[in-house]
Amino acid sequence: MVISKVQLEFLFVDVLSSVMSLVMGVSTPQFDVIVTPACSHLNVGSGYDLTISELAEAIKAVTSCEGEIQFDGSMPDGMSLKLMDSSQINNLGWRSSTSLADGLSEAYSSFLATRA
């Protein structure tokens, strides 16, 4: 079994919607202090990264899956680190409020509740 060393950052979608609400309420002068015309976007990230193997194990734990996790070593890994710089949105007072485990648990519970 080949285990990927690529680290990724994940964000619960409900947390992203809270960021959108925050940004929509920021005045133009306040927004202009945070961003520049050359870089007018805001990165939004949890501030924590993990490997695909760690994500798979977290999903396995939330779903109580007893199966084996397998990786395809013939596929490329890509960049080894994908942690965003969320300092601009953090300067507006925002911090991620949902842990990966809580987000996965809530998403899985929602999936089970809507599955017919």
pTM over 0.95: no
Q: At what angle do helices 52-63 and 100-114 cross, to 10 degrees?
A: 50
What is the tally of helices (H) and strands (E) in the chain?
5, 2
* Range of the structural domain that residue 49 is part of: 7-114
- Whether 16 maps to a domain, the answer reads yes
- Give the per-residue pLDDT at 116: 59
Residue 60, in any domain of the structure: yes
At 5, is the pLDDT very low, low, confident or very high (cuts 50, 70, 90)? Answer: low
Q: Is residue 1 part of a domain?
A: no
Q: How many percent of the chain have pLDDT more than 70?
A: 87
Which residues lie across from 81 on neighbouring strands?
7
Assigned token pair, 86: 């969320």
Q: Please count the structural domains in the chain.
A: 1
In a domain, 2, yes or no: no
Which CATH number belongs to the domain containing residue 53 in this structure?
3.40.50.720
**DSSP 3-state assignment of 79?**
coil
Question: At residue 93, does pLDDT exceed 90?
Answer: no
